[in-house]
Amino acid sequence: MLPVVAIVGRPNVGKSTLFNRILGQRKAIVEDFPGVTRDRNYAEVTRFERPFLLIDTGGFEPASEDRMLTQMREQSQLAVEEADIIFFVMDVRDGLTPSDEEVAKQLRRVEKPVFFLINKVDGDKQELAAAEFYALGIEKLYSLSAEHGRGVNDLIDDLEKLLPPAPDLQEKENEIRLAVIGRPNVGKSSLVNRLLGFERVVANPTAGTTRDSIDTPFMHNNQRYVLIDTAGIRRKGKVSQALEKYSAVNALRAMDRAHVVLMVIDAEEGVTDQDLSVAGYAYEKGRALILVVNKWDLPEKDERSMGHYVEEVRRRFKYLSFAPILFVSALTGQRVPKIMPLVAEVAAEFNQRIPTPQLNKGLAEFVERNPPVYVGGKRIKFYYAAQGAVRPPTFVLFTSRPDNIHFSYQRYLMNCFREKFGFNRVPIRLQFKGRGKQT
């Protein structure tokens, strides 16, 4: 379970710049599908020795000056409730503002590590100006420039002293971990109760690895499952609706541990931006997803309603074309018994291994049917393929020009692997590597 680091502060102090600086350069997994990584407010940081989940609480521009302090309080409250470590960012160019003083006072009372950061310190002149912030009574202040990287390494060095080692990636092969995620009031809890009630769980719930989650082991058709309950995905008391999307932190943590994710969508509200953002994170993590449209008993329908709804869901979740869609009613139990058999089928596909001879025979067929283009007057050669991992199924293709394979040809090969080997409902990954001296 990854620790959560939240960045808070007034608008325009450089929170998003710091977020991008810490995260480093990222390449979108599916570059032609907007929304997968763009405008993300949270991401897993893995480029340092100890990984963590980084959250940017930026983007809350106040409607007026009167709203600024209120929104800062809301952001800080959210960080206090959801994060393990807090970065509070101030702007040296603005000086120490009353808003900064108020939020700093609040954050000093929390029983969590808080890093007080003075941003936009680009040189000696700003370094002298930063001395003003010692009026806060904070023993340790971090002067940095998120834009230029100045002081960020020192910040990360001190952060890593507080982070736990990377989690053990060993998994029980015979255990399927299932997370049910969704926004507030989509019927997630009712669906969980239906699933567990239907399966007549005997095992007692045991405390999970986070303060808000409960792991419930249960059996279905002689298969052991662990349901990761994400009870924390809800609107937090005084936290405003505008900040609700950041209460999905527990969903992200659950997905770190899950194999299969049930994403619950409200049939009446449809797909929201938060749904897209959270699902994008699951996609980047390589999780198997099932889109569960709940409350299907409520909308007025005709014989074409389901087909139209499927088209709309597919349009919004372009990068999840493989994900199955189920229409259910947790309230009435309609189609809920179909969920676990589908989970079992998806999990089996997610954990499937293809023998190496079959992989290489298939690869030869794919290349012969549609040869790759020439690069520098020479055609790209594919030597052999091997499956490197499951959950998600990952295939390593050894080639003469791993860096010159066009994105469209990568997509072609991915579609071929899906069709040939039956990976129709789960994400798969292709990795291209060189073999010895390139010719």
Ranked by mean pLDDT, the top range of 129-143, 196-210, 217-231 is: 129-143
Split at pLDDT 50, 70, 90, the class of 137 is very high
Q: The domain spanning residue 197 has which CATH number?
A: 3.40.50.300
Whether residues 63 and 145 fall in one domain: yes
Q: What is the average pLDDT across 405-410?
A: 93
Q: Are residues 123 and 199 in the same domain?
A: no
| Of residues 170 and 109, more confidently modeled | 109
375 and 312 in one domain? no
pLDDT of residue 207: 29
pLDDT score for 286: 92
99 and 144 part of one domain: yes
For residue 331, is pLDDT > 80? yes
In a domain, 66, yes or no: yes
Identity of the amino acid at 289: L
Residues 330 and 218 in one domain: yes
pLDDT band at residue 58 under the 50/70/90 scheme: low
pTM above 0.75, yes or no: no
Treating both helix axes as pointing N-terminal to C-terminal, what angle do 65-82 and 98-107 enclose, rounded to 10 degrees?
A: 20
pLDDT band at 168 (very low <50, low <70, confident <90, very high): low
69 plus 86 within the same structural domain:
yes
**Each residue's pLDDT tens digit, 16-44:** 889 989 988 543 333 333 333 334 467 78
Quote the pLDDT of residue 198. Answer: 46
Would you state the pLDDT for residue 239?
41
Q: What is the mean pLDDT of residues 167-192?
A: 78
Q: Which has the higher per-residue pLDDT, 299 or 417?
A: 417
- Cα separation, 188 vs 264, in Å, equals 6
Mark whether 58 and 96 lie in a shared domain: yes
234 has a pLDDT exceeding 60? no
Quick one: 318 and 376 in the same domain?
A: no
Domain that includes residue 426, residue range: 356-434
Please indicate whether residue 28 or residue 407 has the higher confidence score (pLDDT): 407
The residue from 323, 350, 377 where one domain ends is: 350
Residue 405 sits in a domain of what CATH number?
Answer: 3.30.300.20
Average pLDDT score, the chain: 82
Let me know whether 231 and 117 are in one domain.
no
Least confident of 269-283, 363-377, 400-414: 269-283
**Least confident range of 17-26, 220-229, 354-363:** 17-26
Task: Specify the higher pLDDT residue, 412 or 298.
Answer: 412
- Res 42: pLDDT: 74
The answer to whether residues 247 and 151 belong to one domain is no
Q: Tell me if 167 is assigned to some domain.
A: no
Mean pLDDT of the region 317-329? 95
The predicted structure's pLDDT at residue 438? 45
Specify the pLDDT at position 386: 96
Instruction: List, in sequence order, every residue forming a beta bridge with 53; answer none if it has no partner.
Output: 4, 44
**What is the spatial distance between Cα 199 and Cα 4, in angstroms, rounded to a whole number?**
33
Residue 292: name the closest of 316, 327, 318, 332 by CA: 327
Q: How many CA atoms lie within 13 A of 26 on its CB side?
A: 21
Longest dimension (CA), the chain: 71
Quote the number of domains for the chain: 3
Q: Does position 383 have pLDDT exceeding 90, yes or no? A: yes
